[in-house]
Structure 1
Amino acid sequence: MKRWTLHQTQNPKLCEKLAQELGVQAEIAQLLINRGISTFNQAKSFFRPDLTQLHDPFLMQDMLNAVERIELAISKNENILVYGDYDVDGTTSVTLMYEYLTETYPNVTAYIPDRYKEGYGVSYQGIDYASDNSITLIIALDCGIKAVDKVKYAKEKGIDFIICDHHRPGKNIPNAVAVLDPKRNDCQYPYKELCGCGVGFKLIQALQKQRQLSERKIYKYLDLVAIAIGSDIVPITGENRILCFYGLMLVNARKRIGIKALLGQNDKKNFSITDLVFGVGPRINAAGRMKHGLHAVELLGEKDEEKAREQALKIEEYNTNRQTEDRQTTIEALAQIEANKETNNFTSVVYQDNWHKGVIGIVASRLTETYYRPTLVFTKSGDKLAASARSVSGFDVYNALEQCDEFIEQFGGHKYAAGLTLKQDNYQNFKQKFEAVVKSTIDKNLLTPEINFEQEIKLNAINFKLIRILKQFAPFGPGNMKPTFYAKNLKLDQYAKTVGAEHKHLKCKLIQDEIAIDAIGFNLGAQLSRLKAANQIEAVFTVEENEWNNQVSIQLNIKDMRPQ
């Protein structure tokens, strides 16, 4: 069973006023109010995102220091290392910064740490590589906010650091030339939810400003930023929404040869953020998971179509191998939970020394879908254990890990996803402590999957005009999810049936007061007989267009349905 929750800002007078000002139906006005939009001008900015609305990059703490240090490096002909994490956010960040700098300056090298030999974030090996190659400035992207000791080590070797990160800082900030991170307590930057690639973009925006060059020249990197925003699951609000909106335009124009190669034969005209998250993101990630993140950087920056096609085929192969690994590991992890009689725990914590480090994050997500509780998947990494953590909506796994820090070597991340390492001897103690912390702090309601909806709607209010406006709410993502509606007093039509492999899905019409609309319910096939037997039913759904045989019709995408 899932819990249904109405997420709505109740203010009928404001809703009526906004609907009149905008000339839209009340349903649209309510959706805007739910997103914190209450005036005509705010609505205009939301529906017409504009790059002129981006914040001044120099509002970010340390930005001037970062710009001046890069300009000094160029004037002194120093060697610069662009260093980034091996995931989508890191590899897109490195591609962006490397391409921007090398357009006008040759002494730049790109570096992605090896997931297995070096692990997450800034590594001693990476600093040694810089030292061995006479590099005196490292620009770290999507990592570094907790690299206090490593930045100190680099300084002793005569290497300066500029850190561009978006993860939560620890107790101490590294003593770098500049630490760009909107989540710093002393950072006054107005928008806190940038991804690593977004922070990198703000740095090149500042460099353009300082050089008194047109910002338009750097908008060509927004496709990379959009892919990073979607794949890193940061809120698609404020500045992220603007960056995403224009980045998607570039993706759909197939401007970047590497991305075009990744999209392959897919002739879809308009890719959404969801398409990027499930189509492009996993393939970029597969390079770092199964081989090396530099393969992704090379593809994203490739200028030759034939080479890009060859690289994309290689990455497709890595992705296929990754899918095989994560399926097998998930089966083994679920079996371990059963064997340990931990199905009724408040957490899932599993470990096997031969699990592939590249897939433990995906497996953690799969286990969270199955048991719907905070989850950690561990594997052996050198002489330590490494884990990926995932959480459920509403529970801060980062805070929970902080309360177990006596057993952890290092960790970092966000509210819903984190990574950590610990000594093997500490595994059982950590596992017990994590279970105790979650058990004592989690709201038990959060352990039941939640379906949010924004308002009740009558089927007679659903038409093509409504859909046209709903489309303008895109790009969708955290903080601006696809509008979801609730309707009651419904019936299924007599031709309702199950479809798909193993009859998993439900295809029907929903009927209310003689209005009937086509509907599809993915993974709801098992409910058919129960729903057919009910006098009336209620449903939560999104509204979309369905194109079939050149005919466009309205379709409800049912998230859940139950007898009323």
Structure 2
Amino acid sequence: MRWTLKPTPDTQTVQSFAESLQIPFKIAALLQQRGVDTYEKAKKFFRPSLDDLHDPFLMKDMDLAVDRIILAIAQGENILVYGDYDVDGTTSVALMSSYLRSHYPQVATYIPDRYAEGYGVSYSGIDYAHDNDVTLIIALDCGVKAIEKVDYAKKLGIDFIICDHHRPGAEIPDAVAVLDPKREDCDYPYKELCGCGVGFKLIQAIEQQKGLPVKTLVPYLDLVATAIGADIVPITGENRVLAFYGLDVINTLPRTGIQALIEHVNKDTLTITDVVFIIAPRINAAGRIKHGLHAVELLTEQDYTRAQEMAAGIEGFNAERKDLDKVITEEALSQIVTNKEENRKTTVVFQENWHKGVIGIVASRLTETYYRPTLVFTKSGEKLAASARSVKGFDVYEALDSCKEYIEQFGGHKYAAGLTLGEDQYEDFKNKFEEVVSSSIDERLLIPEISIDAELDLDEITPKFYRILRQFAPFGPGNMTPVFMTDKLKDTGYGKCVGADEAHLKCAVTQTGNNTTVGAIGFNLGDKCDLIQHKKTFKAAYSLDLNEWNGNVSIQLKLRDIQE
């Protein structure tokens, strides 16, 4: 584990900023590191406002999209809302379909089958639309590369509106409107929306056209916040506003389906992390194990008893997903050892009967173990399909682009992608991918990094300091939970290993020359027990959270790593 300390901003600038905001110096430094360096920016950061959302009509083709939907409703056309089977896709479909149905009944939904159709717009989906007299498809979280599919639909008399956030190819589909902030010819000020976020901008534009304010759409933001968390987009700018208000909806008045999913969660307030680890995997499990439409049906269901039944079904899919994930991860790890591939710069594994629905999760698990760009392949029809995951700082999408002579199709982001190729191309692709990564990756990126925001003394961890720090939330890419480092720590003598297999470390620490004592917990740091028990001083990298025990609440260190 390598520790890197972020550069400290200029002391005088921080001091005057701290005084103007009446906050501790270290808090002011943290804000400056995040680009929050004026009173106005601080106000927007600490008090996100719906007024800070951009005018949706700044997005290229937005006027065309709104006009086409209004025309479809006026002419009594059948509309199909189409989206992918992951969390961003299913929340997008739930958002758009429930919004449109609140004004107009002739709206159907479609999620492609992960196994029969694969990712993105499919010919089967277009044929389904044609068979059901649909003349307008609104595609969400997919479609920006579906050139041939959109042309095929056009020949059948079906128009497309595309709401996507993936990088477009050289050509844009010939749709009525292609809403994608990542289009080179789109001047929309914020480029990092998820698919559900682009869908939200479209319904915001429809409301605006009617002269209605954006606050009428707040009830839809629980879906948007879930997609933002699950799709790991930056929680900056507009996403911060949408996530902030969406979390408030989740915690106060969530839609029936989300309420049914979280009713057994024993927490007063859910954070974006809870959304990522509690809500998102369950929504995802439907598409992984059965079909993504189960998730859309749950997220649009209004009857609570029915929603509870659906949530129980999804809970079953999630349990099955966990079992598959565990078994396949073990098989993949053993394959790496058997093939003597522990010392490569990449992990590429394949077994034809691995469940396609969990290979992305397995790729993430393997990345945690070996910390290098990873691909997990399985058989999908006549082809091989893979999920790719990367390490911090390395663009796996670019690496795949350099191997494209062996790939039939691929898409995704810097850190996560998917691809298909012919089975006869597998070995050549595997060798080429290793060659590309080996020749381009900085060796340091293959060692997990803890990025430390600031050094702290224990006596600086006051209730006021923590109270302000909590207001940095929601946390996520672009605004990660602050990580601190403290040196010259000693265990007070009660340090021990806890939990099953004594995997975790629990202690209370003091600092040389300092009277403050603070409790600490280190998950999966049980192997560091010896270090603290031998009365040696050590340094710790940690974040701060609250420990609630027997009705007492105290600030504790949530240890990331400790070193002598």
Q: Normalising TM by the smaller chain, what interval? A: over 0.9
Q: Is 2:448 the counterpart of 1:472?
A: no
Map of 1:34 onto structure 2: 33
Q: Distance in 1 between matches of 2:437 and 2:254?
A: 46
Is the partner of 2:533 in helix, strand or coil?
helix
The answer on whether the counterparts of 2:387 and 2:417 sit within 8 Å (CA) in structure 1 is yes
The one-letter code of the counterpart of 1:519 is: A
Among all aligned residue pairs of Structure 1 and Structure 2, give the percentage whose two residues are the same amino acid: 62
Give the letter aligned to residue 150 of structure 1: K
For 1:561, the aligned partner's letter is I
| Distance (whole Å) between structure 2 residues aligned to residue 254 and residue 265 of structure 1 | 16
Q: Shift in Å at residue 173 of structure 1?
A: 1.4
- Alignment correspondent of 2:533: 532
Q: Distance in 2 between matches of 1:125 and 1:263?
A: 34
**1:506-548: per-residue Cα shift (whole Å, max 9, x none)?**
1111211232111111111111113333632111111122111
Match of 1:421 in 2: 420
Q: Which amino acid aligns with 1:388?
A: S
Q: 8 Å contact 1:9–1:33 — kept in the other structure?
A: no
Per-residue CA distance 1:393-452 (angstroms, 9 max, x = gap):
000000000001111111111000001111111111111110000000000000000001
Q: Partner of 1:559 in structure 2?
A: 560
Q: Are 1:143 and 2:142 an aligned pair?
A: yes
- In structure 2, distance between residues paired with 1:503 and 1:333: 26
Partner of 1:381: 380
The offset of 1:213, in angstroms, is 2.4
1:167 corresponds to? 166
Q: 1:198-247 deviations in whole A, cap 9, x for unaligned?
A: 00000000111112223222111000000000011111111101000010
Does residue 492 of structure 1 match 2:496?
Answer: no
Q: In 2, distance between residues paired with 1:9 and 1:158?
A: 59
**Structure-1 residue corresponding to 2:297:** 298
Q: Deviations over 1:77-107 (max 9, x none)?
A: 1111100000110000000000111111111
Amino acid at match of 1:86: Y
1:504 alignment partner in structure 2: 503
Which aligned segments of 4 or more residues in structure 1 are displaced greater than 3 angstroms? 531-535
Where do 1:541-552 residues align within 5 Å? 541-552=542-553
Alignment of 1:242-261 (within 5 A): 242-261=241-260
Structure 1 residue 264, shift from structure 2 partner: 2.5
Asked if the contact 2:141/2:195 (under 8 Å) is kept, the reply is yes
> Which consecutive unaligned segments of at least 5 residues does structure 1 have?
none
Q: Distance in 1 between matches of 2:408 and 2:425?
A: 10
Matched, 1:401 2:435: no
Q: Secondary structure in 1 aligned to 2:361?
A: helix
Q: In 2, Cα distance between the equivalents of 1:425 and 1:8?
A: 49
- In structure 2, what is the Cα distance between the partners aligned to 1:539 and 1:343? 29
Residue aligning to 2:199:
200
Aligned-pair distance for 1:474? Answer: 0.5
In structure 1, C-alpha distance between the alignment counterparts of 2:526 and 2:136, rounded to whole Å: 58
Of the structure 1 ranges 454-463 and 165-174, higher mean CA displacement relative to structure 2 is found in 165-174
Paired with 1:56 and 1:560, the residues of 2 have a C-alpha distance of 44
- How far has the Cα of 1:559 moved from its partner? 0.4
- Describe the SS at the equivalent of 2:274: helix
Question: Structure 2: any 5+ residue segments left out of the alignment?
Answer: none
Q: Deviation of residue 267 (structure 1)? A: 4.0
Q: Compare 7-16 and 293-302 and name the one that shifted more.
A: 7-16
The amino acid of 1:190's aligned partner reads: P
* 1:213 partnered with 2:212: yes
Distance 1:123 1:218 in 2: 30
* Amino acid across the alignment from 2:178: V
Residue 65 of structure 2 is aligned to residue 66 of structure 1: yes
Contact 1:14/1:38 (8 A) holds in 2: no
TM-score, scaled relative to structure 2: 0.98
Separation in 2 of the partners of 1:552 and 1:269?
14
Q: Secondary structure at the match of 2:20?
A: helix
**Structure-1 residue corresponding to 2:521:** 520
Alpha-carbon distance in structure 1 between the residues aligned to 2:336 and 2:237: 41
Deviates more, 1:208-217 or 1:438-447: 208-217
Aligned runs of 1:315-394 on 2, under 5 Å?
315-394=314-393
- The one-character-per-residue Cα deviations of 1:237-284 (angstroms, maximum 9, x if unpaired) are 111010000101110114311101001222422100111110010000
Whole-angstrom distance in 2 between the partners of 1:511 and 1:548: 20
Question: How far off its partner does 1:72 sit?
Answer: 1.4
* 3-state DSSP of counterpart to 2:157: coil
Structure 2 distance, partners of 1:454, 1:530, is 24
2 CA distance for matches of 1:207 and 1:556?
47
Cα distance in 1 between the residues matched to 2:464 and 2:212 = 42
| 8 Å CA contact retained: 1:496, 1:509 | yes
| Structure 2 partner of 1:310 | 309
2:346, 2:253 → 1: CA distance? Answer: 43
SS of the equivalent of 1:552 reads strand
Q: Distance in 1 between matches of 2:266 and 2:562?
A: 34
Letter in 2 for 1:420: L
- Within 5 Å, which residues of 2 pair with 1:172-183? 172-183=171-182
Deviations 1:264-308 (A, max 9, x none): 222422100111110010000000000000000000111111100
Matches within 5 A, 1:216-255: 216-255=215-254
Partner-residue secondary structure (3-state), 1:175: coil
1:153-201 Cα offsets, whole Å, 9 max, x none, are 1111111111101111112111111111111111111111100000000
Q: Quote the offset at 1:68 in angstroms.
A: 1.0
Distance in 2 separating the partners of 1:491 and 1:347: 39
* Separation in structure 1 between the aligned mates of residue 448 and residue 40 of structure 2, nearest angstrom: 36
Q: Distance in 1 between matches of 2:6 and 2:142?
A: 34
Counterpart for residue 440 of structure 2: 441
8 Å contact from structure 1 (residues 531, 562) kept in 2: no
Query: What is the alpha-carbon distance in structure 2 between the residues aligned to residue 533 and residue 547 of structure 1?
Result: 28
Q: How many residues align?
A: 562
Contact 2:504 2:525 in 1 (8 A): yes
Distance 1:108 1:290 in 2: 26
My pick for the range that moved more, 3-12 or 293-302, is: 3-12
In structure 2, what is the equivalent of residue 156 of structure 1?
A: 155
Written as runs of structure 1 = structure 2, the 5 A alignment for 1:272-283 is 272-283=271-282
